[in-house]
Amino acid sequence: DAKTTQPTSMDCAEGRAANLPCNHSTISGNEYVYWYRQIHSQGPQYIIHGLKNNETNEMASLIITEDRKSSTLILPHATLRDTAVYYCIVFNNNNDMRFGAGTRLTVKP
């Protein structure tokens, strides 16, 4: 079973920031927080990951709380092409990756 919980769906206006929350209260000390997204029925696409520090790359920013029990993925300027299902998982390469139902983000014009 997935170790994360996410809202089922969210809407965001095009050009605005999309903030997607994730709870992972049972995360272990050596597990990282990963975010993936799946557009239509394509293979999931890696977005970003982090351990305890905030991370930023060309796609998104990841904010992890100090106690590591929750995190937020931020898409700074959402576009229509960012409409997808976003998955938050915890993983460390030595265990399996379990996906929950994810958050269906709809970016509206």
Comparison of 1 and 109: residue with beta carbon closer to another protein: 1
Amino acid at 58: E
Indicate the SS3 state at residue 86.
strand
Choose between 63 and 97: whose C-beta lies nearer to another protein. 97
C-beta of 89: minimal distance to another protein in Å? 10
* Of 19 and 32, CB closest to another protein: 32
Q: Which residues contact 40 (CB under 8 A, 6 or more apart)?
A: none
Binding site for another protein (CB under 8 A): 32, 34, 36, 38, 41-46, 49, 51, 85, 87, 91-102
> What is the smallest separation between the CB atom of 16 and another protein, expressed in angstroms?
26
Q: How far is the CB of 32 from another protein (least distance, A)?
A: 4
Q: How far apart are CA 95 and CA 67, in angstroms?
A: 22
Neighbours of 77 (CB within 10 A): 10
Q: How far is the CB of 78 from another protein (least distance, A)?
A: 22
> Angle at CA 64, nearest 5°, toward 105 and 82?
20
Alpha carbon distance 78, 26 (integer Å):
30
Q: Which is nearer to another protein, 24 or 102 (CB)?
A: 102
